[in-house]
Structure 1
Amino acid sequence: MKNARDGRARILEGALRRFSQDGVSATTLARLRQDSGVSVGSFYHHFASKEHVFGVLYAETLRMYQDEFLKVLAQAETARAGISGIVAFHIAWCGDHPDRARLLFGERPPRRHEPGGPETAELRKGFFGQVIDWWKPHARNGDLKHVDVTTCYVLWLGPAQELCRLWFAGARTPGQAEIETLSEAAWLCLRQTPES
């Protein structure tokens, strides 16, 4: 039983590194088996395909990111603290988990082929529901704009995500000045402004 668990863990660990390094499309099933050191039979005992491995890793990583995101958001005492705190969290999380960040925010299949299947769809639904629950009172109070989820995500984390992509591609590590600039930019984009 222990060897079976070890084999599955080795496949996932090797796949995470390989997907991060080469991308999902360029990674072959043979390479995943070679990296993990498992036999063909052992691989198929745990996973049906390369896409299955990716789906499991993706769902696991998405849950990890979302859980930590929601903890940061729950601790925010103001709308501005929430917006700024999440920008800083996103950049720090990507730095702490670069392989997982590349997996989560890099190469993405079309939505109709959601990695992880129904489990991932449910994770997203629950996550965005909790973010909306945090957002609505701030919008009613006049602190945050009334925006749809997609626009909110792009304005809130789009620049931070692009900064992380550049960082992973070889740009210098972002410093506190960049984090503060992006946090302020997100706040200015998402706060409600009085009508003139």
Structure 2
Amino acid sequence: MTKAIGLLGGTFDPIHIGHLRPAIHILERLELAEVRLLPNYIPPHRATPDSAPEHRLAMVRLATAQTPGLTLDDRELRRNRPSYTIETLIELRQELPDTPLCFLMGMDSLCSLDRWHRWQELLDHAHLVVSHRPGWRPDFNPAVTALYQRHGTQDSEQLHRRPSGCIYLFDNPELDISSTQIRDCIRNGNNAQYLLPEPVADYIRDKGLYQRPVL
């Protein structure tokens, strides 16, 4: 049985412990072959990232270099245009026709999935592994409810047995850390230690990222 590959997209502006710790937890608990981190070039439904693509790429490379099982996939940055998940999944499926793929997301993303570009096609190419706080109860809109009724599973083995098509809800305590919080912390001259991997913190300091503009 081929082990599934996890896929985690994001702006990673900057990448921090709140991204890495849950990714490692999923990697270990679901026994994935790896989790690939995919930095977005320009996310379609979010503000343009503060730092340039080359800086975000470098920070993810530094973070994954010291974390076994986490790897960097830069395909979305290389497109130089808005990043749509469906395009990435189609491309990966062409490269890995029989390998199970697990696209990782938070519960807020699943609840708004029907607003994603070509959302009905996502499960043709990957599973959706959805992190939520323990004890959380689903509160989906009708479109997402119908999708979950067709594709939901509580059997994690299905993520390895089938290449795509399942929605799996995963208890994964979230760390209350955000990239916005870290950027504001740095701009205000405060210490972001322990929120970031040390090599990433060093890179931010060396490149002068997220500093308050000089008037």
TM-score (norm 2): 0.26
Structure with greater proportional strand content: 2
Report the structure number with the largest CA radius of gyration. Answer: 1
Structure with greater proportional helix content: 1
TM-score (norm 1): 0.28
